[in-house]
Amino acid sequence: MVDLLDGKKAAQLADQEFSQRINDLKLMGITPGLAVILIGNDSASQVYVRNKKRRAQKVGINYQLFHLAENITQTAVLQLINKLNHDPEIDGIMVQMPVPPQIDAAKVMNAIAVDKDVDGFSFDNIGRLWSNNSGNFPATPRGIIRLLQQYEISVAQKHVVVVGRSNIVGRPMAGLLLNADATVTMAHSKTPNLAALTKQADILIVAIGQAEFITADYVKPQSVVIDVGMNHDVTGKLVGDVDFSSVSQVASMLTPVPGGVGPMTITGLLEQVIILAEKRA
């Protein structure tokens, strides 16, 4: 029988810790501030942003949403970021991805002050991650590391295969794992014979955006499988990148979708905001 890696439960535990840390900050007159910039009306983004707001407010973060029109100019976005960069009440700034085509995502991300770049998407923070220096690191990989810790699954001495090489999940995931002494292999759409590789993974992390793509024949018996995917199947149901029913027959531990990596992504974000606010103390 497979054991679930319950992200919802782990996130609730983390929220208790965060509430305590924020209470301590408030005694010093500090309230952690998070600014979320949402551009346009992407329906998935609206769900995520709503979840972030609920969780941030629950633990006592000052959450500010800036919802900008789909046709906003790049100049206006940069002006807002500049204002937030200078706002002493704001510890972290993030721009929800994806952004509309007139917005240059790299430019916007690098306009955020390095210390307030709570997503860790700026070139400076990417360099800090890959040189194993301290910095701000992306929410999803942070949340996954925390989920594994919560279940006392060590990555050191393990072979971890990460499928997907995006800037927001796959690449930073590999960097954090490497820094935690895992042996890491990265795979992507051009990787030949993917199943032969993923079958060697003690821990398999999948972030490809292909509904239920990873079936039991990609998975080593008794391994740990982390499903980052958020897709809708033909019936409109939310499903991961992993075929839950077949993989649960071979893996020892597996994240569900929903209730797995999603809630832990928000945990990763809130934790990074709190760390930044603690630097003000």
Q: Which residues are known binding-site members for NADP(+)?
A: 164-166
Least Cβ distance, residue 241 to ligand NDP (angstroms):
6
Contact of residue 81 among ligand NDP, ligand GUE, none (CB under 5-8 Å per partner type): none
Position 262 contacts ligand GUE (CB under 6 A): yes
Position 228 contacts ligand NDP (CB under 6 A): yes
Collapsing DSSP to helix, strand or coil, 193 comes out as coil
Nearer to ligand NDP, 34 or 163 (CB): 163
Number of H helices and E strands in the chain, helices first, is 10, 11
Nearer to ligand GUE, 144 or 194 (CB): 144
How many residues can be counted in the chain? 281
Q: What is the 3-state secondary structure (H, E, C) of 32-74?
A: CEEEEEEECCCHHHHHHHHHHHHHHHHHCCEEEEEEECCCCCH
CA 11, 277, 51, 97: dihedral to nearest 10 degrees? -110
Position 99 contacts ligand GUE (CB under 6 A): no
Contact 42, 68 (CB under 8 A): no
Contact 119, 138 (CB under 8 A): yes
Position 263 contacts ligand GUE (CB under 6 A): yes
Contact of residue 258 among ligand GUE, ligand NDP, none (CB under 5-8 Å per partner type): ligand GUE
Q: List the one residue from 229, 248, 256, 269 that touches ligand NDP (CB under 6 A).
A: 229
Position 188 contacts ligand NDP (CB under 6 A): yes
Position 4 contacts ligand GUE (CB under 6 A): no
Nearer to ligand GUE, 11 or 219 (CB): 11
Least Cβ distance, residue 262 to ligand NDP (angstroms):
4
Q: List the one residue from 25, 56, 96, 203 that touches ligand GUE (CB under 6 A).
A: 96
Contact 72, 39 (CB under 8 A): yes
- For residue 8, what is the enclosing H or E element? helix 7-27
Taking CA atoms, 121 is separated from 76, 160, 241, 264, 275, in Å, by: 20, 23, 23, 18, 17
The terminus-to-terminus CA distance of the chain in angstroms comes to 47
Nearer to ligand GUE, 8 or 159 (CB): 8
Catalytic annotation, residues: 52, 96, 119
Residues 189-228 that bind ligand GUE (CB under 6 A): none
Q: Which residue is nearest to ligand GUE (CB)?
A: 262
Distance CA 114, CA 122 (A): 7
Which stretches of the chain bind ligand GUE, using CB under 6 A? 47-48, 51, 94-97, 119, 139-140, 230, 238, 257-259, 262-263, 265-266
